[in-house]
Amino acid sequence: MTDHRRRALVVGAGYLAGRVGAELSALGHAVTLSSRQPPSTAQARQLDWRPVDARDRRSVHALLDAARPDAVVVAHGPSDITWCEANPGQAAAAHLGGARHLAEALDGRRALLISTDNVFDGHRTSYGEHDPTGPANAYGRAKLAAEETLLAGRDALVLRVSLVYGWDRAGLRPNFFSACAQQLGAGRPVAVPDDHWNSPYWSTTSPPGPPPCWTPRTPEWCTWAARGG
Ligand SMILES: NC(=O)c1ccc[n+]([C@@H]2O[C@H](COP(=O)([O-])OP(=O)(O)OC[C@H]3O[C@@H](n4cnc5c(N)ncnc54)[C@H](OP(=O)(O)O)[C@@H]3O)[C@@H](O)[C@H]2O)c1
């Protein structure tokens, strides 16, 4: 029987990719996640998966040839800011390199890049679409370069989200919230920095519409310590 569902390819198979993939699947789309290793979160493991290394041009082209998506969501790592700062070349290879290979292979198909508020300088509590960018770290520079590459094509959309959090029931990929819950539930104290500010964003919140480059305005920023309290 012919499958008439629209095909969505998600590059990445981690926390965000799993959430986006599950939402798209619930909307009736045929979803394929992709990454170097099979997914580890319970949500992502329920979806179709194909291997890809975004840094490798041939691997990206082969993925698009095999998956034949109608649209692509770009949500792969690395997402660890400290790691990216220590490995700026590798961060750029994954984000900018991946965006270049995808831009080449898209062939007119729409792409959504999950980007970050790290493309801004971090001196203010909130930013909008028209504020100037000025990344203060290697992760932000790599993501901004990826944005520019994909937006140079006709059909790209960039979503600049801040720190996304949610409940990973199986705990396969603990985030700040689930790690706090697990530690406190076991009666253990949690050490949390109070000099790192962020604007947390609940992963089930839906964006209001389809602008070309959207920066969700999170309520206010707070420290990890305030969020944990
Ligand atoms: N989580 C947030 O709060 C947040 C906020 C704003 C933006 N974002 C963006 O969303 C993206 C995903 O974040 P996340 O929290 O879901 O990260 P994550 O859970 O660490 O997942 C990253 C995923 O990317 C894959 N990956 C890493 N390098 C790759 C490569 N070279 N080729 C293909 N896949 C690769 C990883 O699998 P393998 O290692 O097996 O390849 C993994 O599946 C990040 O790049 C980040 O810019 C996240």
Residue 193 lies in a domain: no
Residue 2 lies in a domain: no
Residue 184 lies in a domain: no
Which atom of ligand 1 is nearest the CA belonging to 75?
11
Residue 170 lies in a domain: no
Which protein residues are within 6 Å of ligand 1, measured from CB?
A: 12-17, 35-37, 52-55, 75-79, 94, 114, 116, 143, 161, 163-164, 173
User: Looking at residue 38, which CATH number applies to its domain?
Assistant: 3.40.50.720
Is pTM, for the whole model, over 0.85? yes
Total structural domains within the chain: 1
Helix, strand, coil percent content, the chain, rounded in steps of 5: 35, 20, 45
Q: Which residues of 112-133 are buried (b: 16+ CB within 10 A; e: fewer)?
A: bbbbbbbbbebeeeebeeeeeb
Beta bridge partners of 60: none
Ligand 1 centroid, distance to 16 Cα (angstroms): 7
Residue 225 lies in a domain: no
pLDDT for position 91 = 98
Ligand 1 centroid, distance to 198 Cα (angstroms): 19
Residue 33 lies in a domain: yes
pLDDT for position 214 = 59
pLDDT for position 170 = 63
pLDDT tens per residue across all 229 residues of the chain: 788 899 999 999 998 899 899 999 999 999 999 999 999 888 888 999 999 999 999 999 999 999 999 999 999 999 999 999 999 999 999 999 999 999 999 999 999 999 999 999 988 877 888 889 999 999 999 999 999 999 998 789 999 988 777 666 665 666 777 778 888 889 998 887 777 777 666 555 454 454 555 566 555 666 656 655 5
Ligand 1 centroid, distance to 2 Cα (angstroms): 32
Residue 140 lies in a domain: yes
Ligand 1 centroid, distance to 84 Cα (angstroms): 12
Which atom of ligand 1 is nearest the CA belonging to 36?
41
pLDDT for position 120 = 93
pLDDT for position 123 = 87
3-state secondary structure (DSSP) of residue 59: helix
Angle at 88 between CA 87 and CA 92, to 5 degrees: 120
Going by C-beta distance under 8 Å and a sequence separation of 6 or more, which residues neighbour residue 58? none
Residue 229 lies in a domain: no
Q: Which domain holds residue 58?
A: 7-164+199-220
